[in-house]
Structure 1
Amino acid sequence: MKKSKFIVLEGLDCSGKTTICQILKLLLHNMGIKKILTVREPGSTKIAEKIRNIIKYPNSNEIIHKKTNLLLIYAARIQLIENIIRPSLKKNIWIISDRYDLSSYAYQGGGFKIKKNIIQKLQQMTLKPLIPDLTIYLDVLPKNSIQRSIMRNKEDKIEKNSLNFFNRTRNIYLKLIAQNYHSIKIDANLKSNIVQNDVINKFKKWFQYVY
């Protein structure tokens, strides 16, 4: 029996993460991995989903402070890790997650300019550590991310930020991915079928290398 793995999809909004999560789940199933669970951040537990709605679709005029946003993200992450991810991995269930800790460094650290040491302290306090076996970063230009969000006509609170916000976010992503040996970078600016084939080919190579 193959030991379960923790796989994470990262990238700006509308980079194709949700679609790739489902493609990887089907691919793994065809490779003989039958116990697979897909999750998303923030979310995937009842409490975490409520936190997600507060962050993405606030229904009041009260401004959510950037540090409050960060703490809410980690509160939802703890719920997901302790109630779903850790127990599932112990049961040899593979986890595919739409976002994880890298998003906090990119969005809250880069976009919202929260100091890195604050995020690191939260990470050390909450993750104990839980490091992904593989991170797939779907790199999309901020202008393309914004354009796709507008076309989707369903922008949330985060997606309504400025181009400079997303430039800062992407720059942090690129820096961290370059330092991460357990990661795959994908050009997500191309046509969806090209992006998907690139992910599949590189994922298969990773899978063969791991096993």
Structure 2
Amino acid sequence: MVEQSAAANVNRGRFITFEGGEGAGKSTQIKLLAQRLEAARLPAIVTREPGGSPGAEIIRHVLLSGIGRLIGGAAAETLLFAAARDDHVESLIRPALARGSWVLCDRFSDSTRAYQGSLGAVDPGVLNAIERVTIGDLKPDLTIILDVPVEIGITRAAARRGAAAPDRFEAEGIEFHRKLREAYRRIAAAEPGRCVMIDAVQPPRKVADDIWAAVRDRLPLSKVTEAELT
């Protein structure tokens, strides 16, 4: 019975979230990790927040367009994020994990703590209460925080965006982004068992290697998978 339980734990789905400031390279690194997992015969689903499910994608447009702030400031924006997350978790994340898939998510609840908590001044008690309602006992198995100096991140984001207008968060001033970086560093320091900070200034392939090393170090892979990787 113990051996069966251990095997089930090793082969169950895993939930990995990616966090970081603008231009940190989250989208690129999620795709590279998904490719590595698929090569190791581990089913991976790539998703994002806000969004990731039909209802949440509608709310994403409201949030990134800046309309959310017009409704009632940081508190209203936080509730919109919560509504999107609730739909995303119940429609996609929980079912995928139950099937044994690895879920790779571009932003999750740490983004709310950084953006609306540290920078939007929403009370931590309010955020905790909202989390209990929207995600309950769901916590990422591993959170990758991609760290990059603000000036480099902003330059990368502008190059990626091209002629398109910046979204609500990209349009914030440099001091906002500096505070955001510090907020993520505090999150990483507070939960070292869950969070791994990666130097995202490095070439993308080196960043990907560091992430893969963190995944193999923190999350148990099946014996079959480990044999294929060695």
TM over 0.5: yes
Matched, 1:90 2:84: no
Equivalent-residue separation in structure 2 for 1:118 and 1:59 (angstroms): 22
Alignment partner of 1:144 is 2:156 = no
SS at match of 1:205: helix
Spell out structure 1 runs of 4+ moving beyond 6 A. none
Identity percentage over the alignment? 29
- Secondary structure at 1:159's aligned position in 2? coil
Give the aligned CA root-mean-square deviation in angstroms: 2.2
Measured at CA, do residues 125 and 138 of structure 1 come closer, stay the same or move farther in structure 2, by a change above 3 Å?
Answer: same
Correspondence for 1:52: 60
SS in 2 for 1:130: coil
20, 30, 42: which one aligns with 1:21:
30
Give the conservation status (yes or no) of the 8 Å contact 1:10–1:136.
Answer: yes
SS at 1:8 equivalent: strand
Give the letter for the 1:21 counterpart. I
Alpha-carbon separation, structure 2, partners of 1:103 and 1:61:
16
Alpha-carbon shift at residue 98 of structure 1 (Å): 0.7
Distance in structure 1 (CA, Å) of the matches to 2:203 and 2:102: 28
Structure 2, gaps ≥5 residues long: 1-7, 224-230
What letter matches 1:188 in structure 2? A
2:181 partner amino acid: R
- Name the residue aligned to 2:168: 157
TM-score scaled by length of structure 2: 0.83
CA-CA distance at 1:206 after TM superposition: 3.1
Give the TM-score, by structure 1 length.
0.90
- In structure 1, how many angstroms separate the alpha carbons of the residues matched to 2:216 and 2:98? 24
Q: Would the aligned equivalents of 2:49 and 2:105 in 1 still touch at CA under 8 Å?
A: yes
**What 5-or-longer segments of structure 1 have no aligned partner?**
none
- Post-superposition offset of 1:138: 0.5
